[in-house]
Amino acid sequence: MKVKVESTTTLKPTYEPTTTTRSPPTSTHVPLTVFDKVTYAAHIAVIYAYRPPTPSNSKIKLGLRRALSEYREWAGRLGHDEDGNPVILLNDDGVKLVEASTDTRLDEVMPLKPSPLVLSLHPALNDVVELVQVQLTRFSCGSLVVGFTAHHLVADGHSTSNFLVAWGRASRGLDLGPLPYHDRTIFNPREPPIFEYDHRGVEYYGHHDRSCYCNENDRDSLVDDIVIHKVHFTMDFLSKLKTRCATSSNNKAYSTFVSLVAHLWRAVTKARGLGGFETTRIRISVDGRARMVNPRVPNEYFGNLVLWAFPTSRVKDLLREPLPYAAKLIHDAVAGVNDGYFKSFVDFASHRVDEEGLTPTAEMNKAVLSPDLEVDSWLRFPFYDLDFGGGCPYVFMPSFFPTEGMMFLLPSFIGDGSVDAFVPLFRDSLDTFKEVCYVLE
């Protein structure tokens, strides 16, 4: 598949009488919060595919400009204020918009999978000053693929999905829906600070920890050995998984997410062939919007508000014990990231990080996570609601992120509650994973 770039332009917000904001606000910048600064400092890319008929590029671009008038952060740039603090400059410098085409029919490359092929469907992620990039690729059959990239320091998946839905509504001539809540000054540390938890070795590297840094040459040498395997889990299989997880002395029912992650944790660990006395853990995102109290954060808060749970086990215990063992570890770890934990983090990040020169553990330059895993769940985000006027997408997927062990969970486009898991593994682990990923023990 050869993709031809037809044009590259910069789109800036449009402040029309039809939008809530009729003229540019006077704010010059917004500060990065402790939650922004601790997350991944990188662009994240996703891919959408739409069947014909699809709306014109001009309608999609106008909708984007309208949406940017309410989500001005995306049209800004990262910078610093007069005191040297990291901020988002609200300068309306705009987002990158690429229009492209290909002589290929979309069905010739279906099913789309996270592979080097999809990298041609969105702008490059490195050395980018824009905070959002969009590529509209027209296929010879009339299908449209939208590649979208966004800088994670600006917003988390919850906020980004809300923006995407608003963009679709704006493209259809509708109001943007619930407007974003922009106040990033609400996360104030307590006085005196209370460090209820140690955040070294969790959100930040401790003084004796070392970042698993992988330079570009190392990453390039490993990419060919990593394959991203897509696994479809039906509602029937997920129901059986939940039943297996509930089969324990306390007969506790676990969520679909906890049950599936417990199963995948065991399956990947088996496929890797790890030693029994090695320790393995999973990094799981926890959204603070539903957990923080006083202040209670609105669901429409725009920015990052995510910390992580780290369920941990010795390999031999994880594989020897029944499935409810892993499910309980996950459930308890996620439940522990509560209001008190979030407040402890705010206090710690506000008083200790700069003083001690600590660096975040959230990194995108790792090529291999083994013996650990990371799971990014997009199960509750309305990504499939991005409708420009021709209907919802029939494909939604992450781009090609060849990081061994970084899993993505997405609702299947079928819409019946089934789940698609994207699991990056070394090629020599793939056969074993395929053998065990549908086995219920």
Instruction: Detail the DSSP E strand segments found in 26-176.
Output: 29-31, 43-50, 77-80, 86-89, 95-101, 132-138, 144-151
* CA–CA separation, 59 and 16 (whole Å): 15
* CA–CA separation, 75 and 72 (whole Å): 5
User: Strand 144-151 vs strand 43-50: parallel, antiparallel, or unpaired?
Assistant: antiparallel
Contact 48, 413 (CB under 8 A): no
CA–centroid distance for 294 within its chain: 26
CB-based contacts of 389: which residues, under 8 Å, 6+ apart? 55, 59, 171, 172
Which position among 43, 152, 182, 263 bears the catalytic label? 152
* CA–CA separation, 358 and 149 (whole Å): 28
Contact 327, 284 (CB under 8 A): no
CA–centroid distance for 71 within its chain: 18
Contact 82, 118 (CB under 8 A): no
CA–centroid distance for 411 within its chain: 14
* CA–CA separation, 293 and 295 (whole Å): 5
Known active-site residue 232: no
295: preceding bond cis by omega (within 30 degrees): yes
Contact 81, 29 (CB under 8 A): yes
Strand order in the sheet with 395-398: 4-11, 95-101, 132-138, 144-151, 43-50, 395-398
Known active-site residue 387: yes
User: Could you list the active site residues?
Assistant: 152, 387
